[in-house]
Chain A
Amino acid sequence: MIDSLAVAANDLRRFTRNRTSILISLIILPFFFTASLGAGQGGAGTHFSATADIRMAFIDNDYSIASGRLWQTLVSSPDFHRLVQGYTEQTAIASLGRGRIYAAIVVPKGFAADLANNNTARIMLYTDDSEPGVSDQIQAALKNDIQNFNPNLEVQPLRFNTSLFPVQIIQKGTVFAGFNVGLTIVLGIVQIFAGFYEIAGGMAREREEGTYARMLLSPISIGSILFGKTIFDLLLSTLRTFIVLGFAVFVYGAKPNTDLITLLSLSLLLALVTMGLGFVVSALKVGTRAVVILEFFLVLSLFAFSGLIIDRELLQGVSHTISILLPFSYGFDALKRTILLGTPVLSLTTDLQFMVGSALLFYGLSYVMLVRSRERLST
């Protein structure tokens, strides 16, 4: 135990002497990732319509009371704050894709007549689909706002009161703020990114500086070295968890659906799995540059296979297999279930089993590999 504490104290001393490490580990990674999430999604308490500030053209070719009321319905909705008139159909279509407008809503001639004759009236929506997500968002917002449009009423009813669509879909289930969803990702990514770099990168640097062999050949046991480095990194991981959560809660108003102890335990468990992997990589005798490259692909594979961009259940074939084998997927799942749904952590048995099992496997493997390295060095 004394040896482990000595290793941890040594690592901590080296860390505090290196300003760049402090900057990356405790400032850039937690602050930068959380702030960019807040900038992109708004705070957890803020609700914004993704289409509200998108410039769109409204072209009324019908010039009727009904089309005028449709314009009123759209501009008074929270989704179309930047709807402009003055374009013709041709000029609007020609402007799409050039950044001036991103969609054109065209009310064709005969719109009011169709409505009066109980026929289905049509609206044309031209969209700039080169902008990812814009077309789908505008289409969904327009559909939503038009669902309750009644051409015979000057004041339109509130949304979702009644529907003229044959089957109205009433959505239930808690809707989460984009920031809260993002927080589950940022917390995990920051721990994995920093933890891997600190362990695998730190050991690689020691090898390059020549202190690695000396450390292995010292009378300190391999277990004490692993344990000491783990204590050091758990300390940093705890600090990072507080920084990310503090920033998210006090600056962006995030309200995790679970207590701090659960969040800290899950965050540290994820950090432990990462540290275990870091020890395995460092036992492979790779250089700092290789660690950085591996780190990049590790984080990238998390985005692809851990359900961060697309739910992992929707992945097929090899991608699905990778997502099942990747222990970090279970960490992100546990973070989502606790932060968003408030599920008790002890009920997430599969996630916990996979994470604890992976951490034990990685630590066991790295222990065996480091013992062999020591034997080779001593002979």
Chain B
Amino acid sequence: MKELVRDTVAISVKELRQLKRDPVSLILTIMFPILLISIFIVISQAFSATSYNIPVVVADLDGTPASALLLDKLTSSPLIRVTQLVQTEDQAYNAVSSGQAFGAAIIPKGFGDDLIHGQAFVIVETDNSRITSSTIIIASMNRASQELLNEALLGESSLQLKASPVEIITRPVSGRPPSGDTILPGFLGMIAILGAFDDIVNAISRERERGTFPRLILSPISIFSIYSGKMFSTVLLTILRTALMLVIFRLQGLVIRGNILLIFLTTCLIAIFTLSVGLTLSSRVKGSSTLTILEIAMTFPLFTLAGTTNSPQTLASEGRAIAYSLPWTYGNEALRRVIYLGLGFDAIAGDLFILLLGSLVLMPIAIMLSKRTM
């Protein structure tokens, strides 16, 4: 046991020393998560923006005070920009189909009268190839109509409106306002995955390319110590990357509600599982660049299938089945629960167990395959 620990530490020290001597790899280890998270922050900030300038045309076919009030709400909306007032429905549709506007709102004739009877409607045409914009246009229409109702109910306008019979009051369990940063914990998980993949390329494939791997295997150190040493150095690097990410999250104003140590534990387990996958792959794929390309190709579908950008709960049945068979999904879930909900070890123990189990199953397979290919 003493020997195992000594050898493991020796291999870890060797790995870290090698990394220190390779300035490109060292810079990449530090810069890569920073660059990566910067891109994700750009995306999440774009989703959280309070105002957009989405061009919309409006056709007010009613011309009553009620339609004027709705038009006023639309023109003052921070989400959309009414670029043109058109005279007919066709002109409005043409503006969307020609790409001049991303959406068109048509206030039909009789809108004012129908509103009093609670049966008014507005037609909204959107260019649905622009997915985010069309959703925002519909949201701004709903908001304008809600404001119209609120003013009428508070007596701030002369309209006599009938209220909606049922109102839904939503209370998110985290107590946070809705924002685009719900994807950030998932991206912390992705950084742990990508970082560990890069480490395995450095640790095994490049060692093979330099010709030092057979020498290492022939040294009086057990293969288990070699792998555990490489794993230990990856854990140390993952801790460094996680710390860096958490600092960036804090600078971005993200409130981390849970125990920081649980976040480190989760990212380390994600990295260990990824390392097990990488070791298994590296026993079959020899070239470092081929292995990296393969790993990158595997990583992009994980954005959707491992619950990074959207919850696996919202996927189609096949996607959900794949998502829940991937241990990474549980890692991302655990990170979200700790960071957003502040839950403790008991709430994420199941997730961590699956990650650990995945590593315990894959690691012996990786060692066995590596032995065969030596």
Contacts and interface: CB of A to CB of B under 8 A. Distances in A.
Interface residues on B, range: 35 or more
Interface string A23-64: 010001100110011111110001010110110000000000
Provide the main secondary structure of the chain B interface.
helix
A172 B173 contact: no
B36 A300 contact: yes
Contact of A289 (B145, B292, B339): B292
A256 to B, nearest CB: 13
Interface stretch (A158-166, A234-242, A266-274, A362-370): A158-166
Interface in B10-50: 24, 28, 32, 35-36, 39-40, 42-43, 46-47, 49
A93 B39 CA distance: 35
Nearest to B46: A310
A314 B52 contact: yes
Interface string B40-79: 1011001101001110000000000000001000000000
A196 B296 CA distance: 13
A51 to B, nearest CB: 8
Given A133-B310, A149-B165, A169-B142, A289 B319 contact: no
Contacts of B186: 132
A129 B182 contact: yes
A163 B134 CA distance: 22
A156 interface: no
Interface in B295-339: 296-298, 300-301, 303-305, 307, 309-311, 313-320, 322, 333, 336-337, 339
Interface in B92-144: 96, 102, 115, 118-134, 136, 138, 141-142
Nearest to B55: A313
Nearest to A180: B129
A319 B39 CA distance: 9
Contacts of B293: 24, 197, 201, 292, 295
A337 interface: yes
Given A28-B294, A41-B316, A315-B46, A172 B131 contact: no
Interface residues of A, number: 101
Interface stretch (A94-102, A275-283, A352-360): A94-102
Contacts of B118: 163-166
Given A20-B287, A38-B318, A288-B289, A167 B166 contact: no
Contacts of B152: 166
A310 B24 CA distance: 32
A166 to B, nearest CB: 5
Contacts of B169: 122-125
B347 A98 contact: yes
Interface string A328-349: 0000000011001100000000
Interface stretch (A135-143, A212-220, A223-231): A135-143
B163 interface: yes
Nearest to A34: B301
A314 B292 CA distance: 33
B148 to A, nearest CB: 7
Contact of B120 (A124, A168, A171, A314): A168
B142 A126 contact: no
A173 B96 contact: yes
Contact of B129 (A33, A126, A337): A337
A132 B289 contact: no
A303 to B, nearest CB: 8
A75 interface: no
Question: 9 closest Cβ contacts across the A-B interface?
Answer: A36-B301, A42-B316, A129-B172, A167-B145, A131-B311, A40-B319, A130-B340, A288-B289, A39-B319
30 contacts: A36-B319, A38-B318, A40-B319, A46-B316, A48-B317, A53-B313, A97-B174, A98-B337, A99-B333, A120-B165, A120-B167, A122-B166, A124-B171, A125-B169, A132-B309, A132-B310, A135-B178, A139-B170, A146-B168, A162-B119, A168-B119, A169-B121, A189-B300, A293-B28, A297-B35, A300-B36, A309-B43, A310-B43, A310-B46, A311-B133
Interface of A: 20, 24, 28-29, 32-33, 36-42, 46, 48, 50-51, 53-54, 70, 93, 96-99, 102, 115, 120-137, 139, 142-143, 146, 149-151, 162-176, 181, 189, 193, 197, 201, 205, 288-293, 295-297, 299-301, 303-305, 307, 309-311, 313-316, 319, 336-337, 340-341
